[in-house]
């Protein structure tokens, strides 16, 4: 099944470098240069104003790219996060958090390699020293302290979301204990005294890391105070939409070893009821970035007010957007847990959960799929595989539902957005598997315009070749699944021939990695498992597949699989060995099958 990606707003590895400077870029540079100059050389007030303006301007991708090109991160790290002005320090960490979220891998890795963790630890120490005296401090000082805490903790989450290597570092025991000590300080201070934004950031950290690591869950459960906090979360009535979905998310992750059908059903309904009132259209308007041209040209006092109003409105909308994103992630995760629970116990689902899965969830996914496409595709993928596991016929739920989903899938562009392409082809694969289970599969193939559709198959092969060049093995696996399922339908001999020849070509290609060789070989076993299939004799026998496998495929696999290092990847080595042994049996079986 599939799991939703992290909430970083950019891919972990950019496919396109930043574009060269155009006339518009040069004009933008002229307008940004004074702000960057003030950031480095201005008075405290000028620095603060420039920092606030840049934080808003960075919401625009073009302006953000230009500011990053102008070494914005270096300026913030070298001059601002250690500034004598507390407000500048607080806002600087907020800006770094936003940049890490927006840019993902590149900025996160840059920050981590520049030693940002030591600055974060220093900030944590300042928080822990200041918190006991917080009650006596003026309101503005308390607000600044809580903003500082929010920016530091959310920066940790953003960094971990930007890079798997950073996540692994953050989840080491020493760093986790540092983070836990800060959370302890807030628990002792009193969570009811914290701003809701900071409470949500603490919950988000617990949810995010628990969704990534069983070890993190174990560390939390070994901490008596944190474990009690997590276990009693449901009893708290305080919070907004984000609080509610995060509480359900934490409940889901920490119940992983003690999941039940009833608990899964409850989580699904609680999550959806928390966000169902949010108006998506209003949300889209409120998160639009400010016009950076206006920001640069207006008077400072007008800019300050505009920033304040914009930030408040946008923060509320982003909170709601994040709530919906997490809600979809939780639907995806809960569906996967139900599948695991069913496979382990073979226990029949209660009627209420069956209705939730077949009547309640599909309309929600349909309504949201144009807006949160990559997330929704993963959720559809998990739900459709669960239907197959449970013996639920998706096509019998509603003709309109299946046709609308296929139309949506077909309308998606073939672009470089990896998450969307991965989700798209995952759903195509499981829909084809669902068609294969129908008594009249030709009816559904015709309805989806896939019956003997050579152009579609050639397009899938073209997409495979493209992503193989990019070394995206996961996406190539999905495409192999699509092709092998298409090739297995009766009455499509030419389709089978094209796919079969493609598989053989890939099995002798030097560019095919071992993992895909295993998948391709397994597809061969599945497609040509029986001489009674209508394509077996005209394709496998008459096109000489047996001879090609014996003379070319076997030597290539033997040599390639031999080079797989058991010490580096024991599981892959085991799969390669098993695959090669089955291939030997398959060859003998096909040799004697028609005798």
Half-sphere exposure of 255 (CA within 13 A, CB side): 24
Q: How many domains does the chain have?
A: 1
Distance of alpha carbon 103 from alpha carbon 61, whole angstroms: 9
Asked, for residue 474, whether it belongs to a domain, the answer is: no
CB 387 within 8 A of CB 349: no
Q: Is the dihedral of CA 396, 399, 405, 410 positive or negative?
A: positive
Asked, for residue 547, whether it belongs to a domain, the answer is: no
Q: What is the DSSP letter of 372?
A: S
Q: Which two tokens stand for residue 71?
A: 């070494």
- Residue 53 sits in a domain whose CATH number is 1.25.10.10
End-to-end CA distance of the chain: 40
CB 365 within 8 A of CB 427: no
Cα angle at 171 between 166 and 176, to 5 degrees? 125
Distance of alpha carbon 426 from alpha carbon 381, whole angstroms: 6
Asked, for residue 497, whether it belongs to a domain, the answer is: no
Distance of alpha carbon 143 from alpha carbon 148, whole angstroms: 9
Asked, for residue 484, whether it belongs to a domain, the answer is: no
Q: Which two tokens stand for residue 332?
A: 């995806």
Distance of alpha carbon 548 from alpha carbon 527, whole angstroms: 16
Distance of alpha carbon 67 from alpha carbon 73, whole angstroms: 9
Q: Which two tokens stand for residue 154?
A: 């959310």
Q: Please name the residue that has the structure tokens 């798209």.
A: 424
Q: Which two tokens stand for residue 580?
A: 């090669």
Distance of alpha carbon 524 from alpha carbon 541, whole angstroms: 14
Distance of alpha carbon 55 from alpha carbon 89, whole angstroms: 13
Distance of alpha carbon 207 from alpha carbon 246, whole angstroms: 7
Q: What is the DSSP letter of 450?
A: -
Helices (H), 42-115: 44-57, 61-69, 72-75, 86-103, 105-113
Distance of alpha carbon 205 from alpha carbon 74, whole angstroms: 26
Q: Which two tokens stand for residue 69?
A: 């090109």
Select from 74, 316, 324, 61 the least CA-distant residue to 197. 316
Q: Between the CA of residue 243 and those of 4, 123, 194, what are the distances in Å?
A: 20, 25, 13
Q: Between the CA of residue 162 and those of 108, 173, 399, 472, 480, what are the distances in Å?
A: 6, 20, 40, 18, 29
pLDDT of residue 593: 84
Asked, for residue 80, whether it belongs to a domain, the answer is: yes
pLDDT of residue 296: 55
CB 422 within 8 A of CB 478: yes
- Please give the residue range of the domain that contains residue 64: 23-326
- Helix 514-527 to helix 493-507 angle, to the nearest 10 degrees? 150
Half-sphere exposure of 160 (CA within 13 A, CB side): 24
CB 95 within 8 A of CB 51: yes
Select from 243, 232, 167, 251 the least CA-distant residue to 202. 243
Query: Consecutive sets of 10 residues in the chain, 595 residues long: mean pLDDT of each?
Result: 43 32 54 82 86 86 88 92 91 95 93 96 95 86 93 96 95 95 94 92 96 93 94 78 93 84 93 85 65 58 69 81 92 94 93 95 91 93 96 90 93 87 96 96 94 96 94 96 97 97 97 96 95 95 96 96 93 96 95 82
Asked, for residue 209, whether it belongs to a domain, the answer is: yes
pLDDT of residue 12: 31
């Amino acid at each position: 099944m599939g799991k939703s990606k992290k909430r970083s707003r950019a891919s972990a590895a950019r496919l396109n470098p930043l574009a060269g400077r155009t006339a518009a870029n040069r004009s933008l540079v002229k307008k940004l240069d004074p702000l960057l100059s003030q950031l480095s050389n201005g008075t405290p007030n000028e620095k603060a104003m420039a920092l606030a303006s840049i934080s808003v301007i960075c919401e625009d991708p073009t302006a953000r790219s230009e500011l990053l090109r102008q070494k914005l991160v270096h300026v913030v790290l070298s001059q601002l996060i250690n500034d004598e002005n507390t407000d500048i320090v607080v806002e600087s960490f907020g800006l770094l958090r936003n940049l890490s979220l927006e840019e993902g891998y590149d900025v996160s890795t840059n920050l981590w390699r520049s030693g940002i963790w030591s600055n974060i630890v220093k900030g944590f120490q300042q928080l822990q020293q200041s918190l006991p005296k917080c009650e006596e401090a003026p309101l503005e000082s308390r607000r600044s302290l809580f903003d500082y805490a929010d920016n530091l903790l959310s920066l940790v989450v953003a960094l971990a979301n930007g890079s798997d290597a950073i996540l692994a570092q953050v989840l080491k025991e020493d760093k986790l204990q540092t983070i836990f000590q800060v959370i302890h300080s807030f628990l002792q201070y009193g969570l009811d005294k914290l701003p809701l934004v900071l409470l949500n950031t603490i919950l988000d950290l617990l949810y995010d890391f628990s969704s990534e690591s069983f070890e993190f869950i174990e560390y939390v459960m070994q901490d008596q105070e944190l474990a009690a906090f997590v276990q009693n979360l449901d009893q708290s009535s305080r919070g907004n939409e984000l609080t509610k979905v995060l509480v359900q998310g934490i409940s889901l992750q920490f119940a992983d070893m003690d999941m039940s059908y009833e608990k899964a059903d409850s989580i699904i309904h609680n999550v959806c009821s928390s966000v169902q009132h949010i108006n998506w259209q209003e949300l889209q308007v409120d998160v639009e970035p400010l016009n950076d041209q206006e920001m640069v040209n207006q008077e400072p006092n007008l800019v300050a007010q505009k920033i304040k109003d914009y930030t408040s409105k946008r923060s509320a909308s982003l909170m709601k957007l994040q709530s919906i994103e997490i809600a979809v992630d939780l639907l995806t995760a809960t569906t996967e847990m139900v599948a695991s629970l069913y496979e382990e116990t073979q226990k029949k689902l209660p009627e209420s959960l069956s209705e939730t899965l077949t009547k309640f969830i599909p309309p929600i996914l349909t309504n949201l799929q144009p807006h949160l496409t990559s997330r929704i595709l993963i959720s559809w993928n998990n739900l459709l595989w669960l239907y197959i596991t449970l013996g639920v016929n998706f096509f019998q739920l509603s003709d309109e539902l299946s046709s609308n989903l296929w139309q949506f899938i077909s309308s998606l562009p073939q672009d470089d957005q990896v998450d969307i392409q991965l989700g798209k082809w995952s759903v195509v694969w499981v829909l084809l598997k669902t068609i294969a289970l129908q008594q009249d599969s030709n009816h559904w193939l015709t309805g989806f315009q896939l019956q003997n559709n050579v152009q579609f198959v050639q397009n899938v092969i073209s997409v495979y070749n493209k992503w193989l060049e990019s070394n995206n093995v996961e996406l190539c696996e999905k495409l192999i699944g699509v092709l092998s399922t298409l090739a297995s339908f009766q009455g499509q001999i030419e389709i089978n021939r094209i796919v079969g020849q493609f598989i053989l070509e890939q099995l002798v290609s030097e560019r095919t990695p071992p993992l895909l060789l295993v998948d391709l070989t397994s597809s061969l076993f599945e497609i040509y498992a029986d001489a009674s299939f209508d394509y077996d004799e005209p394709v496998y026998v008459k096109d000489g597949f047996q001879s090609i496998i014996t003379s070319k495929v076997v030597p290539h696999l033997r040599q390639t699989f031999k080079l797989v290092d058991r010490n580096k990847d024991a599981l892959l080595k085991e799969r390669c060995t098993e695959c090669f042994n089955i291939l030997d049996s398959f060859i003998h079986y096909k040799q004697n099958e028609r005798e």
